[in-house]
Each structure stands twice: as C-alpha cells, then as structure tokens.
Amino acid sequence: MIRAGIVGGTGYTGVELLRLLTQHPEVDLVAITSRSEAGTPVADMFPNLRGHVDLAFSEPDFSQLKKCDVVFFATPNGTAMTLVPQLLEAGVRVIDLAADFRLRDPKSWTQWYGMAHACPDVLAEAVYGLPELNREAIRGARLVANPGCYPTAVQLGFLPLVEQGLVELDVLVADCKSGVSGAGRKASVGFMLGECSENMNAYAVAGHRHLPEILQGLEQAAGKPVGLTFVPHLAPMIRGIHATLYARLGDSVPDLQDLYARRYANEPFVDLLPTGSHPQTRSVRGANTCRIALHRPQDGNTVVVLSVIDNLVKGASGQAVQNMNILFDLEETSGLQHVAVVP
C-alpha cells in the first residue's frame, strides 16, 4: 500500500482527492493537513465522506509528512514551493495540484502569479504531469506539476493537430466554459448562487494564468512558437469544462478522425467520439475521462475540436491520482474507473 498525505485538504480539489483515494485499492491515506481546520474530523466538514474517512485535519507537520510515500498539495498557489524541497530531500514524491511548478520559466511564473519563485532549482526538475504528453518523464519523476483544468482540456484537444503541424499555429482560439468549482471553495460574492446562477459571462479575457501554461505545452508539442486567444467563461454549473477549439487548417489535411484515433489509441482516459458528435460535460461528471469530438463545418478550412472534462477529476484530482499510478508503476487506471454520474 502506498502511504499518501494531502496538504491543504479543505478545498474542492482536496475533497475530490479524498473521494478518489479512499476508493483506491492500493492507497492508505495517512495524513491530511489544514492549518485552519486542524482538529476537525474531515467527515464533519465533508459529510459525504462519513464512513469513508476517519482522519481529522492536522497541522502541517513535516515529521509526519516525511513518512509518506507521496504527498499531494491541494493548496493555494505559492504554498507548495515553500515546502516541497524538504519533502523531496526526505525521499517523498510530490504531486502539486497548484500552479507552483507548472511553468518552467521562473520569470513567467513571477509575471503571471505575482511573486518570486521560492525554489527555481527544484522547478527545473519538475515534470509537467499531462500523461498524454509526458508519460515517460512522469514515470521517473520525484515532483509532478499537475496541470490546470483548462490546460488539460485545451492541450488534449489541440495536441494531435499541433504535433503534426497541420494548423496555423499563430491564430488558435480556445473558447472555454467552466463550472464554478474551478474557482475553488473560498467565499467570494461573484461565485454565490445568487450571482452566477442563471448567468454566463466571460472573464479574464485580457489574460488568464492558464494561458502561458497552455502555450508552454503546445509549444513543446509543436517545437515552435504558438499564438492562442484564450477566453474562459463562467457557466452556471458546479463541474465541467467544455473547450471549443478553433484552428485554421493548412493545405494538406489528412483524415483528422483517423489522426486523433491513432494518437489516443492507447490512452485510457481520452475517448474520441465519432465524427460530428457533441460531447456533454455531464458525460464525464465524476470520471477521469476527456471526451473529444471533431468537426469541420461546411468542409471548410476551420477545424472545430470539442473537448470536455470534469475540471475536478481529469482537470485536477483524478489526473493527480493518474500521475501517482504512473509514479508508482501501478495500473494507470487503478482507482479511476468510476462511471460518470448521469443524470
């Protein structure tokens, strides 16, 4: 059994990690920390876990965490980077669900997150944990930077096109719609039901922190610079991301359905739907799957890729468990075969 700890377990990615890990056949959850809730039984805060999780939140305690085989950080941005170095030194593997280790360039981190990076040297060895892009590197990693939710949906949707150089790389568009749980569980007027139910709006059109992360991944795949217009929207639902991707095809266009089918043939968590399908976000609710469908309206030069995930599963905690499975040479689907809850 793998001994797992969670730092900062009071948010949505935390409770989702708990849901997944308590049902994982090879994991023993040994600690979950929260400074603000230390002493509170986890199941008091999240009654859905009653009967499944007996732990109480504890003060972050290095002596206890270092006994873990793996520690997940489900903390606000900027926390993990202050604690990770000593855990690595103690031989603990780390999977960070926050953004601390996602951007390879510390200057870019500072620009987008507004603070200096606490451990640029460690940053250099972090592996960006999108298995469909970096599986082999993840296998040997000590530190995995778990991708953001939008970046997961967008990269999986664009990768085959970008890798093969089939589209104009400077005019990509990603129009994304997210449920509100993507914003976390911190009290905020804008995310109250009275404000965001029966409503939609775009936000951060000028620049969202997931933009440099997406560009970094696509540029790795393309081997050259990429230009992307990324517009996130808040949708009046709890879970789910729907990424609608637009690209201009070049002159020579192969069978795109076939291209995607081959690219993802061995991916257990990418499901390519038949051409012309319209994936629903609910079809992945609670599941670690990304469903993708391809369109070429009026047989024109624009390809439209529809890519849906559950932002808390494949977009966060499920992908973190997938990364753990890879790190520890478990079956990659272990503990992740939940069927999406529909309706």
Which residues are tagged catalytic?
Answer: 149
User: Where in 180-199 is the site for a second copy (CB under 8 A)?
Assistant: 180-181, 183, 185-189, 191-199
| d(C-alpha 33, C-alpha 53), whole Å | 14
Contacts of 89 (CB under 8 A, 6+ apart): none
**Closest approach of a second copy to the CB of residue 143, in Å:** 28
Q: Which of 91, 114, 225, 227 binds a second copy (CB under 8 A)?
A: 227
| d(C-alpha 78, C-alpha 142), whole Å | 19
Cβ proximity to a second copy, 114 vs 236, nearer residue: 236
Q: Does 111 bind a second copy (CB under 8 A)?
A: no
User: Which 8-state DSSP code applies to residue 99?
Assistant: S
Cβ proximity to a second copy, 139 vs 248, nearer residue: 248
CB atoms within 10 A of CB 194: 8
- Which region among 91-99, 112-120, 150-158, 204-212 touches a second copy (by CB under 8 A)? 204-212
| d(C-alpha 235, C-alpha 197), whole Å | 8
User: Where in 124-163 is the site for a second copy (CB under 8 A)?
Assistant: none
- Contact predicate 316/146, CB 8 Å: yes
Q: Does 286 bind a second copy (CB under 8 A)?
A: yes
- Which region among 69-77, 81-89, 122-130, 289-297 touches a second copy (by CB under 8 A)? 289-297
User: Where in 305-334 is the site for a second copy (CB under 8 A)?
Assistant: 306, 308, 312
Cβ proximity to a second copy, 164 vs 275, nearer residue: 275
Q: Which of 102, 117, 210, 239 binds a second copy (CB under 8 A)?
A: 239
Q: Does 287 bind a second copy (CB under 8 A)?
A: yes
- Contact predicate 185/10, CB 8 Å: yes
Q: Which of 55, 137, 231, 253 binds a second copy (CB under 8 A)?
A: 231
- Contact predicate 14/39, CB 8 Å: no
CA angle 44–7–137, rounded 5-degree value: 135
**Closest approach of a second copy to the CB of residue 132, in Å:** 16
Q: Does 263 bind a second copy (CB under 8 A)?
A: no
Q: Does 52 bind a second copy (CB under 8 A)?
A: yes
Maximum distance among all Cα pairs of the chain, rounded to whole angstroms: 62
| d(C-alpha 234, C-alpha 241), whole Å | 10
Angle separating helix axes 149-163 and 210-222, nearest 10 degrees: 20
Per-residue tokens: 341? 């809850």
CB atoms within 10 A of CB 253: 14
Which amino acid appears at position 312 of this protein? Answer: L
**Closest approach of a second copy to the CB of residue 275, in Å:** 10
Q: Which of 56, 90, 249, 273 binds a second copy (CB under 8 A)?
A: 273
Cβ proximity to a second copy, 134 vs 216, nearer residue: 216
| d(C-alpha 39, C-alpha 10), whole Å | 13
Q: Tokens 């967008």 correspond to what residue?
A: 154
User: Where in 21-50 is the site for a second copy (CB under 8 A)?
Assistant: 22-23, 46-50
Q: Which of 36, 201, 252, 266 binds a second copy (CB under 8 A)?
A: 201
Q: Tokens 């319209």 correspond to what residue?
A: 278
Cβ proximity to a second copy, 136 vs 168, nearer residue: 168
